[in-house]
Structure 1
Amino acid sequence: METTYRVPVAERDASTRADFILRTYTHLIGAILLFVAIEYAFFASGIAQPMAEAMTSVSWLLVLGGFVAVSWFASRAAMTAESKAAQYAALGAFVLAEAIIFVPLLFMAMYYTNSGMELINDAAWVTILGLAGLTGIAFWTRKDFSFLGGILKWAFILAIVAIVSAVLFGFSLGTWFSVLMIGLAGAAILYDTSNIIHHYPEDRYVGAALALFASVALMFWYVLRLFMSRD
């Protein structure tokens, strides 16, 4: 089967490149706002508590496995589907999956720490500042960070092995694991931003936004965990 070559947006004219970048970050902001809206609905309706209790009462590996499956299908659909409706459905499904998996962590941060909502807000602001700084580096240097792809792949595999081992053998990964995962998420943001500048075709802004949202969510997760461990 012949593969259709898609011209990277970097090879297009300046107007097309600017439009692609604007569309990508508009969709990223939309995904973040949708995530916040879903979490607000969960907590305002009162279903966050039973969701958190249900998710923490079963093996975390089942939850993680379901999330990985949804993530894989959503990412693949966003990058390969020709239909815009399918791409948006993939992005929406991924945001919903992220919102669900975040419920236990947000519930514990809100009700089992001294700072509660303030802690969540602080973690969100640190994540936003991290995203802004890394985005600035990528756009300022215009360097192609695609070489990070292989490093990130193996680093994520090792991280998953560590998480699975912690669940199976009942040990805590500790503060330094959160710090390392924040660094890994930062590298992923740099890699995703570089791909947005250099490698994505102009019709894949939904997939680009999904990839970047995944990295931002990962950073937020571990920044929040780090703050919770010190509260």
Structure 2
Amino acid sequence: MSVVRCNLLAESPALVGRTNRAQQSYWYCTPAGLAEAAASGELPPRSSRTTGQRAAAKTGLREQGLALADTVLAFQHAGAAEYTDWRVEVAHPTPAGTLVPDDVVLLDDGTSAFVEIDRTMSYAKLLAKLERYDAYRSALPSGRGNAARTPCSHWQETYSGPHLERAFPPVLFVFAPAPRRAAPDTREAAFHERARSLSNVGYRIAVATTTLARLTQHDATGPVWRIAGRGASEDRHGIGRLPKAR
């Protein structure tokens, strides 16, 4: 899948959405982004017909992409992660179905976090995605290991922090506004009510939430993240104070 990255340093993202055509994935670009894509040689000759405001308007992915760009900038402004330390849509097969995070970020302390931008997904689908995260965490190691090194799961090999830290990366949900949907604060509160029924949340996987407005106002290191799970309070924490999965 071809990916042309946002120009986040200038805070004017060229990349603001995606549309699918002919089993390929193209990112909707602004004129600057399209020029960058054409210069890269990554787009087929006729791909310009699949990019533009019409495609973005039909899919709603323009707003999704802009919400993701705002999230990346909030982390960069806070010094929590550089814009270059984000991986877009890495797919992981799991027994519960394929897991495709919206993004994966490498934080400044060397640990990783999965990031989900929610605008229109139903609560049932959000909880099902958490189940896929848990299935990914629980997947058996595929390597054989050796006398000096025991086999590691894929997430341990790919996302372990310094000194092969064994805690599964936290899953961070950012609730963004969307037409004909409840306000982000309302959706965040409803998500927490439902997440309490999942025994894996707060135990096998650490989950925290915020809204896009709160995140952009206070940055990622500010008191914006609310911990999900049974027994969790409504207190909010900075990114550096999130609990580790047990």
- Same fold flag (TM > 0.5): no
- Report the structure, 1 or 2, having the larger strand content: 2
- Report the structure, 1 or 2, having the larger helix content: 1
Alignment TM-score, normalising by the size of structure 2: 0.26
Alignment TM-score, normalising by the size of structure 1: 0.27
